[in-house]
Amino acid sequence: MASQLRSCVRGVGAALPAHVVTNDELARKVDTSDEWIRQRSGIAQRYVAGEGETTSTLATRAAEAALRNAGLEAGDIDLIVVGTSTPDYTFPATATQVQANLGITHGVAFDLQAVCSGFVFAVATADKFLRSGSNKRALVIGAETFSRILDWNDRTTCVLFGDGAGAIVLEAQESDGAFLSPGVISARLRSDGRHRAKLFVDGGPSTTQTVGHLRMEGKEVFRHAVGMVTDVIHGCLADAGCDAKAIDWFVPHQANRRIIDASADKLGIPREKVVVTVDQHGNTSAASIPLALDIAVKDGRIKKGDLVMIEAMGGGFTWGAALIRW
């Protein structure tokens, strides 16, 4: 096959706030219980950012960890894409703060806002920059502090989310384009703005001039999630000319254990190939997939040569999937 560029994973890293909040602690503040939260969502605990911990500080720590894991220096990076819906400020972009924190003064850094699908959208976007030849190495980051946009009196949402950040380094490498060769093989992105009211934040600079709080019709989101993500996954598999049996590791967005299980079942992916971290982190929105990748790489599950499917669905609605040969 003719030579082409592919975006290959060089490293992965993650960062979590210092403070853990258990379900029992939440049950002392709102009318809920450890049993309800575990049964309905699979969540046992979540990390919550404290003083001095922001989306950009978590993103910077995750980026530094990914660079160490890749054996690279900050100066090797010429593209930073941060998927986030909880930036430190309305502007400038969190990505430019990460760029400055890393001491990088060349290249380009920008944020990408696709809520829980943010990391998949960021991977797909960085992949296009790298494959075009315009950039050589990208830090692709998902970073969030959803604790700062939660209504802590609303038990239907405040028990579900947490804070954190994860990052991967993608590098443009010459490739023969074969199915077994490393890199991003396919990515599919979708959105449909008609679903805004099912998952949104009720504030913003141009409307209320406040940050606002997350509002969600959980049941409605649940109802759409499985069909939407399995649709884009089938698209990626078709692009690659393989079926779900070829997937070594399924790393879904971590919103709800029941959504993860239902999606895996519908695709015929056995549970032992599914990476689950929602129990430890809760739903960290754009950070959930890179946090899960970091755990599964570092504990030895995801190895070089493995076929990894990532997927997410979130506010907008937005949804997407990417198939990556590690």
Active-site positions read: 116, 253, 283
# binding residues, ligand UT7 (CB under 6 A): 21
Query: Is the CA virtual torsion 116, 117, 121, 122 positive or negative?
Result: positive
* Binding map of ligand UT7 across residues 43-82, x = CB under 6 A, - = no contact: ----------------------------------------
The residue within the footprint of ligand UT7, chosen from 283, 289, 297, 311 (CB under 6 A), is: 283
> Which range of residues in 12-20, 58-66, 215-223, 264-272 is near ligand UT7 by CB under 6 A?
215-223
Q: Where are the beta strands (DSSP E) in 127-270?
A: 137-145, 163-175, 183-191, 199-201, 214-216, 249-252
- CB-hemisphere CA count at 13 Å for 193? 0
Of residues 216-255, those binding ligand UT7 (CB under 6 A): 218-219, 221-222, 225, 255
Q: Measured from the CB of residue 221, what is the shortest distance to ligand UT7 in angstroms?
A: 4
Task: Tell me how far apart the alpha carbons of residues 211 and 89 are, in angstroms, rounded to a whole number.
Answer: 10
> Which range of residues in 57-65, 156-164, 180-188, 236-244 is near ligand UT7 by CB under 6 A?
156-164
> Which range of residues in 46-54, 70-78, 153-161, 205-213 is near ligand UT7 by CB under 6 A?
153-161
The C-alpha angle 139, 144, 147, rounded to 5 degrees, equals: 170
* Binding map of ligand UT7 across residues 248-267, x = CB under 6 A, - = no contact: -------xx--x--------
Bridge partner residues of 19 (DSSP): 48
Residue 219 or 304 having the CB closest to ligand UT7: 219
Residue 236 sits at φ, ψ, to 5 deg, of -65, -40
Task: Tell me how far apart the alpha carbons of residues 197 and 216 are, in angstroms, rounded to a whole number.
Answer: 8
CA distances from 146 to 27, 106, 131, 318 (A): 19, 30, 32, 18
Q: Measured from the CB of residue 253, what is the shortest distance to ligand UT7 in angstroms?
A: 6
Task: Tell me how far apart the alpha carbons of residues 38 and 84 are, in angstroms, rounded to a whole number.
Answer: 26
Residue 77 or 141 having the CB closest to ligand UT7: 141
* Binding map of ligand UT7 across residues 186-205, x = CB under 6 A, - = no contact: -------------x------
> Pick from 264, 195, 254: which is nearest to 226 by CA?
264
Helix (H, G, I), strand (E, B), or coil: what is residue 159?
Answer: coil
State both tokens at 252: 């879904």
Give yes or no for a contact between 299 and 60, defined as CB atoms under 8 angstroms apart. Answer: no
The residue within the footprint of ligand UT7, chosen from 41, 56, 60, 280 (CB under 6 A), is: 41
State both tokens at 5: 């560029």
Residue 185 or 313 having the CB closest to ligand UT7: 313
Residue 57 or 256 having the CB closest to ligand UT7: 256
Residue 304 lies near ligand UT7 (rule: CB under 6 A): no
Residue 5 lies near ligand UT7 (rule: CB under 6 A): no
> Pick from 253, 247, 272: which is nearest to 324 by CA?
247
- Which residues are near ligand UT7 by CB under 6 A? 32, 36, 40-41, 116, 155-156, 159-160, 199, 218-219, 221-222, 225, 255-256, 259, 283, 313-314
